[in-house]
Amino acid sequence: MKIVVTGSTGFVGRHLIPELLNEGHQLLELTRNLTTSEKLYGSSTQKHHLNGDQEDLRIALNSFQPEVVIHLASFLTSADDYGSMMKLIDANIVFFCNLLDALKEAGLRLFINTGTFAEYFKGDGVLMPAYLYAATKTASRSLLDYYSNVYGFRKTTVIPYTIYGGKDSQRKIIDIIYDSIGGVAPVDLSPGEQVLDFIHIRDVVEFYKTLIQQEAAVPDNSVFHLGTGKGVTIKQLAAEIEASTGKKININWGGKSYRPSDVMYAVADTKTANDVLKWSSQVSMSQGVKFFLEDK
pTM of the model: 0.96
Neighbouring residues of 229: CB distance < 8 A, sequence distance ≥ 6: 197, 267, 268, 269, 270, 280, 281
Whole-angstrom Cα distance, residue 61 to residue 66? 7
Q: How confident is the model at residue 63 (pLDDT cuts 50, 70, 90)?
A: very high
Report the phi/psi class of residue 262: left, alpha or beta, with left for phi > 0 and alpha for psi in -120 to 50: beta
pLDDT of residue 265: 97
Summarize pLDDT for 175-226 with one digit per residue, the tens: 999 999 988 999 999 999 999 999 999 999 999 999 999 999 999 999 999 9
Q: How confident is the model at residue 174 (pLDDT cuts 50, 70, 90)?
A: very high
pLDDT of residue 118: 98
Is the predicted pLDDT of residue 268 greater than 80, yes or no?
yes
Element (H, E) at 98: helix 95-102
Summarize pLDDT for 233-249 with one digit per residue, the tens: 999 999 999 999 999 99
Is the predicted pLDDT of residue 169 greater than 90, yes or no?
no
Element (H, E) at 111: strand 110-114
User: What is the mean pLDDT of the segment spanning 289-294?
Assistant: 95
User: What is the mean pLDDT of the segment spanning 273-290?
Assistant: 97
User: What is the mean pLDDT of the segment spanning 266-272?
Assistant: 98
Kindly list the distances between the CA atom of residue 123 and the CA atoms of 207, 225, 260, 262, 265, in Å, as whole numbers in the listed order. Answer: 22, 12, 15, 11, 5
DSSP characters over 27-63: EEEEES-HHHHHHHHTTSSEEEE--S-HHHHHHHHHH
User: What is the mean pLDDT of the segment spanning 18-26?
Assistant: 97
CB 295 within 8 A of CB 165: yes
Q: How confident is the model at residue 6 (pLDDT cuts 50, 70, 90)?
A: very high
Is the predicted pLDDT of residue 170 greater than 90, yes or no?
no
Q: What are the chain's domains?
A: 2-160 (3.40.50.720), 173-196+230-269+276-295 (3.90.25.10)
Element (H, E) at 100: helix 95-102
